[in-house]
Structure 1
Amino acid sequence: MQPFAELLDRLVYTTARNAKLKLLEDYFREVPDPDRGWALAALTDGLPLRLPIRKTLATILEPHVDPLLYRLSRDYVGDTAETVSLLWPDVRANAPPPSIGDVVAEVSSASSREFPRVLERLLDRLDVKGRFALLKLLSGALRVGVSARLAKTAIAQSFGRAVEEIEEVWHAVTPPYGDMFAWLEGRGERPDPGRKATFRPVMLAHPIEEGDWQGLAPADIAAEWKWDGIRVQLSARPGDVRLFSRAGDDISGAFPDIVQAFAHTEGVLDGELLVLRDRAVAPFNDLQQRLNRKSVTGKMLQDYPAHIRLYDILFDAQEDVRELSFLERRVRLEAWYERFLPSLADVSALVPFAAFSELEEKWRQARENGIEGLMLKRKDSPYLAGRPKGHWYKWKRAALTLDCVLMYAQRGSGKRSSYYSDYTFGVWKTPDELVPVGKAYSGFTDEELLRLDRWIRTNTVERFGPVRQVAPGLVLEIAFDAVQPSSRHKSGVALRFPRVHRIRWDKPAREAETLAAVQALIPS
């Protein structure tokens, strides 16, 4: 546990990507199995532990720390693991610090009634850094600025491999990944997905920028609509059909209708998951009703009918076709679709154009047609894992902006735990009533954050636990992608993908937008 604790401590205070990679590479090379595998699982959200950690911590800490002091400390620090690691009595039991393997074994074998005592004993064997690492490990929320992709990149670079090789075998291995490390160190065979319906690394696009157009010729480019759903991969083998998000998460349980529709097929397909009614794409908010669920009801299947719009093929039955050009894969995709004709699916149509000026006109009409934008793909591009330069481009419709009023603020987490950096903003329902329409956590500089934090502390009118209500005096220009109905907001609407575009220190709050103006932006 101590090497892992040291790793987390250094990652928290390291901001540069390459420096984080170096820390991770050293750790994966030097730490033995199974600890490095369990650490990798924690960094990639694959640790098979789901525990009532916050409730348990409050229970076991109460005999040592006054509950009010704990709540105030937690509110000030902004992180449960850090708060408990500092407040826990430093009794330091005679037993040596546990390894991560010890922790996983003890916690996994403990019943729900035994877990509080097990956790107490583990905390007693660790110092402050160790306790912090233990609680982060068990909570599954490390928050050290390391994505799953970065962790896989570190594994690859540690052993002289390409990250795509790691992603190819990722769904053929399970924590603590002993067989994968054996392969990387030359002690074993490459893990083989075999006949399993496994996830394959996806190809991603770059946002198109002004300078990119100079290197593009209309004759070399195929265009498709960018549909407003979520990117998915459908992997089908005889008797085994899986639906994955673009990050490789298995979301099959939430979409049994899609799984059933592809039960007779074989191959690996790339596409967009949508809710479709009467052949029209429903707002993204409808699709959200089915996301992040382990199972769905019959009524939900009926109310939010899922559909996949296919636009690429990776495996035609068992044949890997990723090295073919886009146009060749397109022919294979259309033939595959005609061969199997899966219900709840269609093939995304290509957008015809002769010149980019003609394509730009279509792009300008995207918003009124309820489409997110355009995808531009080189006709000769193979299907490459990751985000390779110069192959695929996404041309999203321009963002909308609204002037909103800051209503509430809450301290952030990690490096922002001492600053009010999470903002709830609203618009005028009546001349005297503001109603919230969203939250923003980004879009401002560190210097602007300091000024915002000072303003919030000075203009607080009421506190609700960690949340401060402020006087309606500051206007935030919010950039966002769309407006959708929302039962979670008192206003009945929510902005999609909101971020702070500008801080309007100069604008009176009374001149911010009205709810009626926001409602008018909801797609019909």
Structure 2
Amino acid sequence: MKRFSQLFQQVDATTSTNEKVRALRQYFYDEIPENAVWAIYLFLGKTRKRLITSRVLRDVFLQISDIPEWLFEDCYAHVGDSAETIALLLRHSPLESQEKVDRPLHEWMEKVIPQVKTVQSEGELRDLVVSWWASLEDTEIFVLNKVLTGAFRVGVSEKLLVKALSAEYNLPESVLAHRLMGDFEPSINFYRQLIQTDNEELAPSQPYPFFLASPLDEDRFQEEEPARWQAEWKWDGIRAQIIKRADEVFIWSRGEDLITQQFPELVEGFQLLPNGHVVDGEILCWEGDRPMNFNALQKRLGRKSVTKKLLAENPVHFIAYDLLEHNSQDIREKPLLERRNLLAELLTSLSTSLTTVSTSLSFSSFADLQELRERSRQQGAEGLVIKAKDSPYRVGRKRGYWWKYKVNPMSLDAVLIYAQAGTGKRANLFTDYTFALWHNGELVSFAKAYSGLDNDEINELDKWIRRHTIEKFGPVRSVEPIQVFEIGFEGITESKRHKSGISVRFPRILRWRKDKPVEEIDTLQTAFELLKTIEQSN
């Protein structure tokens, strides 16, 4: 645990990619496989299961500490993270002296931490957690707390991890990225398979790394020859791979969640495919010839089983984009047009209306492309994806092959009414904002946004919030309703869960409207009129 915590400190303390890779590579060089594989598992965010809530850890700390609850809450408001707050306070209020024990990381993950599942009472849980804290240094306590709460995150992307492993073991990054896809058992055997140079047969459920489009550079793209490119509608669903191997169907989301159980009708349809095929595409809830709102799809997610009622009310459709594996052969290096021809031929064997190949849209000029984009909302899409016809299927975002060309976001002018401190490096700044619209002479909250301001604007607004706070509700501050912002979003729907009666998708700040008084912000009626317009255009 000590060595892993040191690595955590090294990668967390720098913004340099090279320094992070160097630290990771040295760790894999020094560490035994039993620990190295767990480090990979943690860095990839595979341990998302919460064993203990942050609230329970906080209560345990307050039971053994002389620090009053109000002071803990004040510290938390500055730090922005319970796990880190406890670790920092324990540094200055150490527990009863106990010999520090440096157990190996794999022992913590496989034997020590699982003891949480066996405790019979709150007292036993408290004693167990306190004994762990007493045996660790402060950084190790922080790491342990994050693992226990299922919130271990660090500034190491999968790309950096793959780069370090590639450099250390002289393996192609694309091979390692593929081997790390999906879930895996963090065992010595897996680690050896991961770093071996010989080809090894993949597990039947193993997906491929997804290829992602980059935002279009309009000036650069206007110099391209249109005949080399094709466009497709960019749908607002779940990117997924459907795999047919070993007489089984597996469905993986782009977030590496196995979502097979949520879509039994797709499983049934793809059972007709021959073994050895992997199709990349988008899952949407679909009605007639159009996609339903994303909220309908959300009702299917996160469920262990899907009822007949849910299947009927939220029917799904799979739009196939690409073919990655054909007759058990990886064909990602073949040109896009060749892969799509094989895909179209393959899907003719499926006697199901739940799957179609994405429509290929041609254009002869950049003006034609812009016109296509403007028609996106009429199709129920959020823009275009533009792909080079000769492009291979790469890993992650590789500029120059695929571009996304989204429609301009919808927007409303709203006023800031609440603010809350951020987390991590922004824990000392107010960066989480709630915005409101007018309704019958009152301000009604309609959206929260966390992004869109630059650092100078964040610092300026933070100072203003501190000077113009009206009330405090724990970490939340109510502020004078003066500052107006243009809020952009990708979609808008009716919602019974929100006081405003609407829900917006992916809200973000487009600009700070210092030129506009609060009396002139938009109304809730304007938002519903926008919703009605969108529904009519669909």
User: If the length of structure 1 is used for normalisation, what is the TM-score?
Assistant: 0.93
- Tell me what 2:25 maps to: 25
Aligned to 1:91: 96
Aligned in 2, Cα 1:505/1:357: closer, same or farther, shift over 3 Å? closer
Is 1:102 matched up with 2:112?
no
For residue 172 of structure 1, report the CA deviation from its aligned partner: 7.7
Aligned-pair Cα RMSD in Å: 2.2
The whole-number CA distance in structure 2 between the counterparts of 1:476 and 1:98 is 51
Q: How many Å apart are 1:155 and its aligned residue?
A: 2.6
**C-alpha distance 168-12 of structure 1, shift in aligned 2 (>3 A):** closer
The 10-residue stretch of structure 1 (330-339 or 103-112) with the greater mean CA deviation from structure 2: 103-112
Task: Determine if contact 1:221/1:376 at 8 Å carries over to the other structure.
Answer: yes
| 1:485 aligns to 2:490 (yes or no) | no
Counterparts of 2:430 and 2:79, CA distance in 1: 12
Aligned to 1:159: 169
Structure 2 counterpart of 1:123, one-letter code: W
DSSP 3-state at the match of 1:444: coil
Cα deviation for residue 314 of structure 1 reads 0.9
Q: Which residue of 2 aligns with 1:42?
A: 42
| Alignment partner of 2:238 out of 230, 234, 237 | 230
CA contact (8 A) 1:172 1:192 kept: no
Deviation of residue 331 (structure 1)? Answer: 1.1
Q: Which residue of 1 aligns with 2:206?
A: 198
Per-residue deviation, 1:129: 1.5
Question: Secondary structure, in 3 states, of the residue corresponding to 1:62?
Answer: helix
Q: Matched residue pairs, number?
A: 521
CA-CA distance at 1:486 after TM superposition: 2.6
Tell me if 1:249 matches 2:254.
no
Q: 1:99 to 1:56 in 2, by over 3 A?
A: farther
SS of alignment partner, residue 471 of structure 2: strand
CA distance in 1, matches of 2:225, 2:530: 35
2:127 aligned residue: 117
Q: Determine the structure 2 residue equivalent to 1:398.
A: 408
The alpha carbon displacement at 1:124 in A equals: 0.7
- 2:100 touches 2:136 (CA, 8 Å); kept in 1? no
| CA distance, structure 1, for counterparts of residue 472 and residue 194 of structure 2 | 53
The letter of the residue matching 1:145 is: G
Per the TM alignment, residue 309 of structure 1 is displaced from its structure 2 partner at its CA by: 0.6
**1:286-327 deviation per Cα after TM superposition (whole angstroms, max 9, x unaligned):** 222223334333322221111111121111242332222111
Aligned residue identity for 2:233: W
| Cα separation, partners in 2 of 1:424 and 1:444, compared to 1, 3 Å | same
- Structure 2: how far apart are the matches of 1:332 and 1:377? 17
The separation in 2 between residues aligned to 1:160 and 1:404, in whole angstroms, is: 53
User: How do 1:47-446 residues align onto structure 2 when only pairs under 5 Å count?
Assistant: 47=47, 49-65=49-65, 66-88=68-90, 89-104=94-109, 105-110=111-116, 111-113=118-120, 114-171=124-181, 174-183=184-193, 190-194=199-203, 196-265=204-273, 266=275, 267-430=277-440, 432-446=441-455
The CA deviation at 1:109 is 4.2
**Cα separation, 2, equivalents of 1:357 and 1:507:** 34
**Secondary structure of the structure 1 residue equivalent to 2:486:** strand
Distance 2:395 2:98 in 1: 49
Structure 2 portions without partners, runs of 5+: none
For 2:160 and 2:480, the matched residues in 1 are separated by: 41
> Secondary structure of 2:107's partner?
helix
Identical columns (%): 36
Pick closer, same or farther for the CA change 1:342–1:177 going to 2, 3 Å. Answer: farther
Give per-residue Cα distances to partners, 1:123-149, cap 9 Å, x unaligned.
Answer: 111121121121122223233323334
- Matched-pair contact (CA < 8 Å) for 2:227–2:363: no
CA–CA separation in structure 2 for the residues paired with 1:300 and 1:161: 45
Structure 1 stretches (4+) deviating beyond 4 angstroms?
183-186, 188-191
TM (normalized to structure 2)? 0.91
Please say if 1:497 is aligned against 2:506: yes
Are 1:254 and 1:290, in contact at CA under 8 Å, matched by a contact in 2? yes
Q: Given the superposition, is the C-alpha separation of residues 12 and 168 from structure 1 closer, same or farther in structure 2, using an over 3 Å criterion?
A: closer
Aligned equivalents of 1:217, 1:102: Cα separation in 2: 58
CA contact (8 A) 2:472 2:478 kept: yes
Q: Which amino acid aligns with 1:264?
A: L
Contiguous gaps of at least 5 residues in structure 1: none
